[in-house]
Amino acid sequence: MGQRKRVLPIFMYGVSHRTAPVELRERLSIPVAGLQAALRSLRRRIPAAECVILSTCNRVEVYLACARPPDPRAIARFLCGGRPGISAKIEKSLSHHAGAAAARHLFRVAAGLESMVLGESQIAGQVREAWRAALRARCAGPVLGPVFEGAIRASRAARRKTGIGAGAVSISSAAIALAEEILGSLDGRAVMIIGAGKIGELAVKHLARRGAKTVMVSNRTYTRARELAERLGGEAVRFDRVFERMRDADIVISSTGALHRVIRAARVKTVMAARGGAPLFFIDLAVPRDIDPAVRGIRNVHCRDIDDLERVRDESLARRVAEARKVEEIIEGHLARLGRGTE
Residues of the chain with pLDDT > 70: what percent?
A: 95
pLDDT higher than threshold 90 for residue 217: yes
Residue 117 has pLDDT above 80, yes or no: no
**Distance, CA of 205 to chain centre:** 13
Tens of pLDDT, residues 176-200: 888 888 999 999 999 999 997 777 8
Residue 2 has pLDDT above 60, yes or no: no
Per-residue model confidence (pLDDT) at position 343: 67
Model confidence over 248-260: pLDDT tens digits? 999 999 989 888 8
Those residues with Cβ within 8 angstroms of residue 291's Cβ, 6 or more apart along the chain or in another chain: 254, 261, 262, 263, 282, 284, 303, 305
Number of neighbouring beta carbons within 10 Å of residue 88 = 11
Q: Is the pTM of this model over 0.75?
A: no
Average pLDDT, the chain: 89
Q: How far apart are CA 256 and CA 286, in angstroms?
A: 6
Stretch 96-118: mean pLDDT = 93
167 — pLDDT class (breaks 50, 70, 90): low
Given 57, 80, 139, 303, the catalytic residue: 57
Residue 57 among the catalytic residues: yes
> Is pLDDT above 90 for 10?
yes
C-alpha distances (whole Å) from 269 to each of 17, 194, 296 are 47, 18, 11
pLDDT the model gives residue 169:
66
Predicted local confidence at residue 122, as pLDDT: 84
Q: What is the rounded average pLDDT of the residues 211-229?
A: 91
- pLDDT digit string (tens) for 263-320? 999 999 999 999 998 999 999 988 889 999 999 999 999 999 988 888 888 888 888 8
pLDDT of residue 1: 40
For residue 8, the model assigns a pLDDT of 65
Q: What is the pLDDT of residue 310?
A: 84
Task: Give the pLDDT band (50/70/90) at residue 3.
Answer: very low
Q: What is the dihedral of CA 103, 104, 106, 109, to 10 degrees?
A: 180
